[in-house]
């Protein structure tokens, strides 16, 4: 389920349990590179989503699909979980950066509109309530940017960054949701229409809070990482 570009992609990473009896259970997981074309792999349907309409998300069906031994990543069984966890750090940074982008795009629309739209003879940007909203939105965006950059620097240095990536992903994606909603409120009825892109930002933001590990899971990852570091 939830295979991005599943219909158009030709090469995939497949995670499979190759040793169900292994303890702990994650040691029985292996990773494979697989390709379309061999019998037994079909794209069964496209999943209709709330947002992110620019890319297909698919369900892929396997039936007696054989994978050659040489397609095993790393050449050893039981290391699939490690490969996945290493990739998740990069994925969470990617999702965090996308959240930052969505938030910034929504803010840019809101601040531009607030300076053009007039009520009671002046731009709504001159009303205190709108100014407070803009200030809060911009502050959260800047905090998100700093978190994303800090986590990315650790990743570039090949340092462990599960806590930092989790913080960046959690904060930036929640910011994307909240800022896009505030942008919609600033635009009023126009924000709810497809005449402006804000409604799309609002529909795209929820996926970021789910993908790469839900934000509820990020709380646990951050807390456990902090507790682990405090013992050293």
Report the alpha-carbon distance of residue 182 to residue 177 in Å, rounded. Answer: 9
Tokens standing for residue 63: 């039936």
Other CB atoms within 10 A of residue 199 CB:
19
Peptide bond preceding 37 in cis form (omega within 30 of 0): no
Which residues in 36-46 are b (16+ Cβ under 10 Å) and which e? eeeeebebeee
Give the active site residue among 91, 109, 142, 216: 91
Which residues in 153-178 are b (16+ Cβ under 10 Å) and which e? ebbeeeeebbbbbbbbbbbbbbbbbb
- Of 55, 90, 88, 98, the C-alpha closest to 213 is 88
Known active-site residue 91: yes
Q: Classify residue 140 as exposed, middle or buried by CB count within 10 Å of its CB (0-12, 13-18, 19+).
A: buried
Which residues in 209-218 are b (16+ Cβ under 10 Å) and which e? bebbbebeeb
Mind spelling out the 3-state secondary structure of 131-150? HHHHHHHHHHHHHHHHHHHH
Catalytic residues, which ones? 91
């Amino acid at each position: 389920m939830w295979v991005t570009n599943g219909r158009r992609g030709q090469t995939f990473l497949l995670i499979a349990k190759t040793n169900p009896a292994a303890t702990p259970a994650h040691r029985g997981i292996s990773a494979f590179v697989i390709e379309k074309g061999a019998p037994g792999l079909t794209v069964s349907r496209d999943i209709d989503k709330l947002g992110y309409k620019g890319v297909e998300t698919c369900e892929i069906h396997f039936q007696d699909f054989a994978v050659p031994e040489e397609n095993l990543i790393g050449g050893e069984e039981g290391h699939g979980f490690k490969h996945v966890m290493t990739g998740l750090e990069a994925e969470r940074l990617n999702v965090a950066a996308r959240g930052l982008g969505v938030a910034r795009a929504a803010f840019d629309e809101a601040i531009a509109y607030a300076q053009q739209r007039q009520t009671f003879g002046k731009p709504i940007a001159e009303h205190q309530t709108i100014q407070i909203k803009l200030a809060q939105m911009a502050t959260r965006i800047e905090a998100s940017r700093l978190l994303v950059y800090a986590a990315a620097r650790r990743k570039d240095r090949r340092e462990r960054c599960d806590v930092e990536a989790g913080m960046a992903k959690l904060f930036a994606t929640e910011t994307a949701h909240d800022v896009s909603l505030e942008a919609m409120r600033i635009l009023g009825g126009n924000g709810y229409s497809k005449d402006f892109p804000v409604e799309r930002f609002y529909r795209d933001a929820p996926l970021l809070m789910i993908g790469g590990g839900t934000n509820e899971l990020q709380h646990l990852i951050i807390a456990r990482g902090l507790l682990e570091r405090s013992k050293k």
